[in-house]
Structure 1
């Protein structure tokens, strides 16, 4: 329960802190957790080393893969980004739609409109890159109903609180366990279903070659599209130096 009370406290404090101070504080906390969360730091370091090392073996022009200092800098950047993302999450419920819109620039929105015009709903596939909480807000800001399955965390009161931070009148979060039928219903209502494609929470995905090593990735979005005929669009967000985000939406997969 301690984590829950910490989250509630941060949810009270973060909206009171202006971005000019909030983001530097978030970076500082991210740097602190870089030193405290040794296990998480080691996992990220190993992943980055594997990815960049594999790239260097296949791209002779890439020189930084074996440079430990460069990899450490990337890992530190991950923690800084996580700090900023949490700051945005805790203040999200207090931001107006206009304030959220000012944080976002969207490239490729026409693909969303065209896909939904077919009447079969839409599956928006994303990864945990950039500010994922902001990406989830984009369709909802344009009065499109979004259903997003999320991992259930314990205790239940913490899960419900995190969902309350992210949700709004057009964005509904549901537990990933047992979400299948609700996703079918959402697509039949011509709504948007958001799915993450880089983490197999249910461990029901497929094993693929990922940067030269086997990895289990979710395939639920593909199964859902095959069963319903709903188009798939891939979207990614990228945080800019001024802490706004660019959302890039690809054309529907074929």
Structure 2
């Protein structure tokens, strides 16, 4: 089993839950920082190679090897902090309200979710998105989230946690459910999904430009939004300098219509990804993507 598979396993998630529940904040943050530092010290592990590759691209392809190693450490320690905070605060509503204050942008987004207009909401893996979503739901957000069709044991447990705070999950891959999701969008529903995890089986002709390089990213959210004729809204979480979490949203992004079917998908996806690029650039070391988004670059030996 690779370290990445272990970190995604049920045992690893259960351990993370225990740490979050029972360690006080100072100890929990210290432990997660030390664990992230330890994992980052094994430079040849796939997870570190993938993070360095991704950080190399999003930080302008200018970082030296030593800078990339430090960047990977920062990503992993931030991830540990996020996992601790998620499990420590998820069932502490009053403390959660302080950690994730209800901002004007959050209120605007919740208001959007209650309109009769449908929206396809997309998000990158930035910072503590699960915790911010739980705050949005408690404040009145209404919508569904598309989930991985064949989740491993760790992801299954994470999905159970998401359901526990009121998140409605719809698995991808079932044509009947996809048709129902399109109808839901047409009737004013809000559907959310992640869009920055690469698909290894993606054909090269379906790659999209992301940070100026071709990448095998998902495209299903574009086809569903086009079929339902609804705009896209990009949302992100981020950590503030004081350790609290914030939220950003793009507002509605209308999709364009092209004569060519493939252009219709790829060019609209790239338009949306430009907004995601801008958000990632604001806090690049809070981008918790542990898969190689540009697999062709693995040969560079970063």
- Unaligned 5+ segments in structure 1 are 55-64
The 5 Å alignment of 1:1-254 reads 3-36=9-42, 38-54=45-61, 65-96=62-93, 98-105=94-101, 106-109=103-106, 111-113=108-110, 115-116=112-113, 118-151=115-148, 152-155=150-153, 158-178=154-174, 179-187=177-185, 190-201=188-199, 206-254=206-254
Report the TM-score when normalising by structure 1: 0.80
**Distance (Å, rounded) in 1 between the aligned partners of 2:22 and 2:74:** 25
Q: Is the 8 A contact 1:129 1:236 kept in 2?
A: yes
Match of 2:292 in 1: none
Q: Is the 8 A contact 1:107 1:249 kept in 2?
A: no
Structure 1 residues 100-124: Cα deviation after superposition (integer angstroms, max 9, x where no partner): 2222243523542553454133222
**Distance (Å, rounded) in 1 between the aligned partners of 2:144 and 2:118:** 11
Q: 1:44 to 1:169 in 2, by over 3 A?
A: closer
**Distance (Å, rounded) in 1 between the aligned partners of 2:137 and 2:15:** 27
Q: 1:219 to 1:18 in 2, by over 3 A?
A: same
Which has the larger share of strand? 1
Q: 1:53 to 1:134 in 2, by over 3 A?
A: same
- Unaligned 5+ segments in structure 2 are 255-302
**Distance (Å, rounded) in 2 between the aligned partners of 1:204 and 1:41:** 23
RMSD: 2.9
Q: How many residues align?
A: 241
Tell me whether 201-210 or 172-181 shows the greater mean CA deviation.
Answer: 201-210
Report the TM-score when normalising by structure 2: 0.69
**Distance (Å, rounded) in 2 between the aligned partners of 1:84 and 1:5:** 18
Q: Is the 8 A contact 1:30 1:80 kept in 2?
A: yes
**Distance (Å, rounded) in 2 between the aligned partners of 1:212 and 1:4:** 36
- Give 3-state SS (helix, strand or coil) of 1:177's partner: coil
Q: Is the 8 A contact 1:108 1:251 kept in 2?
A: no
